[in-house]
Structure 1
Amino acid sequence: MSARHIAMPEATPLGSVVCGAEAVTLRRGGRTLLDRVSLELRAGEVLALLGPNGAGKSTLLSLLSGDVAPDGGVVKFAGKPIAEWSLVDLSRRRSVLLQDNQLLFPFTVHQVVEMGRAPWRRTEREDEDNEAIAEAIHASDIGHLGNRRVPSLSGGERARTAFARVMAGRTGILMLDEPTAALDLGHQEAVLGLARDRARAGDAVLVVLHDLNLASAYADRIALLRDGAIFACDTPERVLTAETVSEVYRTPVEVIPHPVTGQGIVMPRRG
């Protein structure tokens, strides 16, 4: 069989578990970063990881993506331990945008987005390259950047270029670590709107966020972490209560309903 006829991943039924952690523990420098955490990511959902600084959000994403191996427990991907997957096979099934994604080399915007198609070289899906790249550039609103080189971009433009690279992979699983951190209000909404669209199309989306109200608006489920453990995991309405958020973040908040949507808005209690 030629390399161009490699078996492609099949579409995953909505609601099916695509990856998960089972009682995973991670220690570094004598400190426990994650303590027996279990979590599942399902096709067709946006699952947001929330929590204070140092709670273990990015660490958990790194474990689920296979970038870091746990000291205890197991991470499973498509039903089998992630350690049994090759890096090439993983790269065709999940796309990862890391928090410290640094695009410092003088690549052009187009070249960076094109990197998202690298896993599909010499496969049947290589024929999708041009379409996937063009679609990702348009969706991320970076078409006007033309052949600008990455070092000349603003922080927000770099973030959107990195997001377009992930979108171009068309892997079916998106793992995004703080994708809105460097973006203005409009582009925050646009990026999470795209993530929401991908979930509606059947993709599984795991996203680390700091903004509780963005998570409330776009996530199907929220896993709220504190001190390396999951404090709560459920729908935004059940997780983002004044009592729970105040306890986890150790600061008093109130949750008021949005005047149009009725979704809860988390606000610090002042005065």
Structure 2
Amino acid sequence: MRLGTAIALPTITPVGEDVYRATNVRVHRGGRDILGGVDLTVRAGEVLALIGPNGAGKSTLLGALSGDVDIDGGEIQFAGRPLRDWPLAEQARRRGVLLQDNQVLFPFTVHQVVEMGRAPWRRTALEEEDNEAIAWAIDLADIGHLGNRRVPSLSGGERARSAFARVIAGRTGVLLLDEPTAALDLKHQESVLGLARDRADAGDAVIVVLHDLNLAAAHSDRIALLRRGLIAAEGTPEEVLTAEIVSEVYDHPVEVIRHPRTGRAIVVPIRD
């Protein structure tokens, strides 16, 4: 994947201003609160990582922000308007969503999958950018060599990168990514998150769910650490990823050291 191509695409919010503002957001399912009253802001020009133990509510919160999960209380503002007031077609042109379950079951080619990311722009003036946007996304996701291969024949990592290319082909200005590195090897984990960083530097808002705390530390501007449907800590990686906070939330002792060159946190489990 080629990094450093910070193409300035149209954004909906000036850098540094709120794209999302969630206030007391609650989601109740199966007799329990998945989200128990979450307050969160997401700003243009930053990478915000959502981390936390399994079942903490990370994917539910991302789904609520994207409009794919109905909330049972509170409010979400998107670009200064209540999210519920945005027509679905208009939302699709302003935020791209990569879900955990991004499997494509039909035998589409890689090119056809990426082309799906341009669907919201059909019958608009920006439809003229389709070919350029598709080629750009394929290049950045490092899947040009896959040619016309069909999705069922791809490895898990190749499918994940194809799905990622589909999302960025939309050129929306907001990216919501649910565990985009889960099926990727080391090189492509770094490349995908490097591209997310690149898009934030170009003015996009990027919200990414991650399990790997060290990836979150290395690539995010801010971290929201969830536990049992609530935000246990929020701030810079240095503020959130302390031994005390991580050990308590994950119920396992850790130590946090600093990278000798970058100064970023490295979380190391303490083992007997």
TM-score, normalised by the number of residues in structure 2: 0.95
Structure 2, unpaired ranges of 5+: 1-9
AA at the equivalent of 2:192 = V
TM-score, normalised by the number of residues in structure 1: 0.96
Q: Distance in 2 between matches of 1:12 and 1:31?
A: 35
Asked if 2 retains the 8 angstrom alpha-carbon contact of 1:20 and 1:64, the reply is no
Count residues in correspondence: 264
Q: After superposition, what is the alpha-carbon deviation per residue over 1:200-240, rounded to whole angstroms, capped at 9, x for unaligned?
A: 00000000000000000000000000000000110000000
AA at the equivalent of 1:198 = R
State the SS of the aligned residue for 1:160: helix
Note if 1:247 corresponds to 2:248.
yes
Structure 1, unpaired ranges of 5+: 1-8
AA at the equivalent of 1:119 = P
Change (3 A) 1:261 1:152: same
CA RMSD of aligned residues (A): 1.1
User: Who is 1:105 aligned against?
Assistant: 106
Asked if 2 retains the 8 angstrom alpha-carbon contact of 1:13 and 1:43, the reply is yes
How far has the Cα of 1:259 moved from its partner? 2.0
4+ residue runs over 4 A deviation: none
User: Who is 1:17 aligned against?
Assistant: 18
Q: How does 1:1-271 map to 2 (within 5 A)?
A: 11-271=12-272
State the SS of the aligned residue for 1:202: coil
Asked if 1 retains the 8 angstrom alpha-carbon contact of 2:257 and 2:265, the reply is yes
Q: Distance in 1 between matches of 2:75 and 2:139?
A: 38
Asked if 2 retains the 8 angstrom alpha-carbon contact of 1:93 and 1:173, the reply is yes
Q: After superposition, what is the alpha-carbon deviation per residue over 1:37-89, rounded to whole angstroms, capped at 9, x for unaligned?
A: 01111100000000000000000000000001110101111111111111000
Q: Distance in 2 between matches of 1:75 and 1:261?
A: 35
Q: Distance in 1 between matches of 2:83 and 2:158?
A: 33
How far has the Cα of 1:10 moved from its partner? 5.6
Q: Distance in 2 between matches of 1:259 and 1:10?
A: 36
Asked if 2 retains the 8 angstrom alpha-carbon contact of 1:55 and 1:227, the reply is yes
Q: Distance in 2 between matches of 1:200 and 1:222?
A: 17
- Higher mean displacement: 49-58 or 67-76: 67-76
Asked if 1 retains the 8 angstrom alpha-carbon contact of 2:11 and 2:203, the reply is no
Q: Distance in 2 between matches of 1:264 and 1:62?
A: 28
Asked if 2 retains the 8 angstrom alpha-carbon contact of 1:116 and 1:167, the reply is yes
Asked if 1 retains the 8 angstrom alpha-carbon contact of 2:13 and 2:79, the reply is no
User: Who is 1:3 aligned against?
Assistant: none
Identity, % of aligned positions:
73
Q: After superposition, what is the alpha-carbon deviation per residue over 1:128-151, rounded to whole angstroms, capped at 9, x for unaligned?
A: 111110010010000000000000
How far has the Cα of 1:11 moved from its partner? 4.3
